[in-house]
Amino acid sequence: MTTESSLDVGQGSNSSLGKRNRDADDNDANTDVDMLPERDMKKLCISDITGESDLEASAGPVTTQENDVPGASGEQALVDAEMKTSAPVPDITNTNSPTIYRNRWKTVIASKPFGRAIDEDTTPLELICGLRDAIKGHKSLFMDSKILHRDISTNNIMLTDPKLNDGCHGVLIDLDLAISLSDDSCSADAKLLTGTMEFIALGILDAHANPTGNGVVHSYRHDLESFFYVLISVCIRLGWPSKKSLFIGTLRKWYKGEIDDTYSAKHTAVCPANFKNKLLNVFSPKFDCVKELASKLRIKLFQRNIDPCIETDPFPEDLYNSILKAFDEEIVKMK
């Protein structure tokens, strides 16, 4: 992918709201960056003022940096919120808690060729190829550059034309909440409740629903679990003849209510005894062929036969390779 960017340090407002235009048009691949309208560029506002504020309402799902949620404890903050139209609005908020702001880099990036969002037109093969390559990108960020993304969601994965993108079918975008693991000053941030609620890993939810000790450090494994939830969510939400899923309620429990309720609902759904009935059986007809892959990924991530294992494997290479192999095997079957 060819990337042209500008980077500067600035002082912005006390909230961060971004709007993404994700219309994909192959003809736009040759558009000059200078000619791009401002709405087509990702914008991140920053603040270097430490202060207090109520949580601001967002027109889309909130990406939480340190959002005080019912059942969570400690000093809370909300730093990032994005207006996204394709995902639900989480109801896990507490407006009585102060918000703390941190310094941010303001970055504007325009890239080509352009990708497209995962939507109703996405085929099962496109979805699987796109997710696989996004995971490869995540692995490179983590293993080679020591960067952890921490906000894996349907809105942060773009599908790309492999003919225009060096054979790559998908890319990972929006590193707003990413941290450098080689920077000691980011160690505290790794313990914050971060991500898009529907896709946050069980281990992180559990740590904030039942706070004990020093909490849980956000790890590469938590992001891989989020990729798994992206796959599940897409297969349930999209691909219905009526263009509307009858089983959104299954996913709504993952982002509405108190945090211990969202943890319980998600934990129950991925248990071996419930996984088929609660999730696989509500896949849309279009994505019925993805059930086998979803089952394999559940086993690789959670391992245990009775209660899901949510601990981080100390050998990331093994888990990455095992998950990517499952994707590759499924891709071969579909082609």
Tens digits of per-residue pLDDT, 28-37? Answer: 434 443 444 4
C-alpha 231, offset from chain centre: 11
Q: Is the pLDDT of residue 226 over 50?
A: yes
**Amino acid identity at 239:** G
Does the pTM surpass 0.85? The reply is no
Task: Give mean pLDDT, residues 112-141.
Answer: 94
How far apart, in whole angstroms, are the C-alpha atoms of residue 94 and residue 70?
7
Between strands 63-64 and 17-19, the pairing is unpaired
Q: How far apart are CA 234 and CA 245, in angstroms?
A: 10
Please, are residues 148 and 177 in contact by the beta-carbon 8 Å criterion?
no
Specify which residues 81 forms β-bridges with: 17
Q: What are phi and psi of 159, to 5 degrees?
A: -90, 135
Tell me which of 77-81, 185-189, 215-219, 294-298 is least confident: 77-81
**CATH number where 234 lies:** 1.10.510.10
pLDDT band at 169 (very low <50, low <70, confident <90, very high): very high
Give me the phi and psi of 64, to 5 degrees please. Answer: -95, 130
Phi, psi of 61 (to 5 degrees): -65, 145
Distances, alpha carbon 60 to alpha carbons 28, 36, 38, 230, in Å = 26, 24, 20, 17
What is the C-alpha to C-alpha distance for residues 271 and 306, in angstroms, rounded to an integer? 7
Residue 274, pLDDT > 60, answer: yes
Confidence grade of residue 309 (pLDDT, cut at 50, 70, 90): low
Residue 310 — very low, low, confident or very high, per pLDDT cuts 50/70/90?
Answer: low
pLDDT of residue 246: 84
Domain count, the chain: 1
Percent of the chain's residues with pLDDT above 70: 63
Nearest to 45 by CA among 11, 6, 19, 85: 11
pLDDT at 289 over 80: yes
Question: 17 pLDDT exceeds 70?
Answer: no
Closest CA to 198 of 121, 246, 266: 266
The first and second tokens of residue 142, run together, are 């983590």
Structure-derived torsion over alpha carbons of residues 243, 257, 299, 322, reported in degrees to the nearest 10 = 80
Range of the domain at 288: 2-334
User: DSSP secondary-structure letter at 43?
Assistant: -
Residue 323: φ, ψ to 5° = -70, -45
**pLDDT at position 176:** 87
CA 174, CA 253: separation in Å to the nearest integer? 25
Residue 34 identity = D
Residue at 196: amino acid letter: T
What is the pLDDT of the chain when averaged over all its residues?
75
Asked if the model's pLDDT at residue 74 lies above 60, the reply is no
Give the mean pLDDT of 100-120.
75
**Percentage of the residues of the chain whose pLDDT score is greater than 90:** 50
User: Residue 270: CB partners within 8 Å, gap ≥ 6?
Assistant: 202, 279, 298, 302, 308
Check pLDDT > 70 for residue 254: yes
pLDDT number for residue 85 = 35
- Tokens at 38, concatenated: 């401002």
Spatial distance between the Cα atoms of 115 and 12, rounded to a whole number of angstroms: 28
For residue 180, the SS3 value is strand
Q: What pLDDT, on a 0 to 100 scale, did the predictor assign at position 293?
A: 98
* Angle at CA of residue 314, ends 214 and 298, nearest 5°: 95
